[in-house]
Amino acid sequence: MGYDFVLGGESHTVHPIHEPEGPNLRIDGQPLRAELVPGLARGEFFLEVDGRRERLFLASEGDVHFVHWRGRTHRVEAINALERARRAASAAGGTEVLRAPMPGTVVEVATRAGEDVVAGALLMTIESMKLQTAITSPRDARVAEVFVSPGATFDQGAELVRLESAEDEGEADPGDPGKGGQPG
């Protein structure tokens, strides 16, 4: 499993390969031998590629790396290949129904149909077994429908909120609000 490196808007796939001598990387399918040797200064490295030796400086913040080389700074983002595949699949968006993780009561509804929400936004608070749980949006989306109101009780798996992609026009889709959700 490799990483994708995004540099100047272009994505390159890098795989480490294990041969005692010869190439140790495959970049977009092309084998290459590269060594990164730390220098004495903070962030200083020497990169040796095909017999050439280049001095560069590296600073990293998580998976975003800043490479200072020959007077210019390049931003390189490393994206785990599996993460990229998942993002590509979920970017398709579409509708998604959030269901009750356990039976309980609605304490508070913090959103309404038509609202655009970001990932992590509080949609509602429920209470079950004396514990209050926040129901949050798993992604950036538009709230299509809220199936329950404060005070309502529901079973495990009941529909709480339906999300759709924010780009969708949000045309009315009545769905099946009666199933599982109970009016307050």
Count, residues in the chain: 184
Q: Could you say whether residue 18 binds other proteins (CB under 8 A)?
A: no
3-state secondary structure of 12: strand
Show contacts with other proteins in window 136-175 (CB under 8 A).
Answer: 136, 156
**In contact, 167 and 93? CB cutoff 8 Å:** yes
* Tokens 């990293």 belong to residue: 60
Nearer to other proteins, 77 or 170 (CB): 77
* Cα–Cα distances in angstroms (integers) from residue 127 to residues 105, 131, 134, in the given order: 5, 5, 9
Q: Which of 120, 150, 151, 178 binds other proteins (CB under 8 A)?
A: 120
Q: Could you say whether residue 80 binds other proteins (CB under 8 A)?
A: yes
Q: Which of 83, 116, 173, 176 binds other proteins (CB under 8 A)?
A: 83
Instruction: Provide the minimum distance between the beta carbon of 144 and other proteins in the complex, in angstroms, as a whole number.
Output: 21
Task: Tell me how far apart the alpha carbons of residues 76 and 98 are, in angstroms, rounded to a whole number.
Answer: 35
> Pseudo-torsion of CA 163, 167, 170, 174, nearest 10°?
-40
Q: Which of 132, 150, 183, 184 binds other proteins (CB under 8 A)?
A: 132
3-state secondary structure of 103: coil
Tell me which stretch binds other proteins (CB under 8 A): 20-28, 121-129, 145-153, 174-182. 121-129
Q: Could you say whether residue 28 binds other proteins (CB under 8 A)?
A: no
Give kind and range of the element (H or E) at residue 32: strand 30-32
Q: What residues line the site for other proteins (CB under 8 A)?
A: 1, 62-63, 80, 82-83, 101-103, 119-120, 127-134, 136, 156
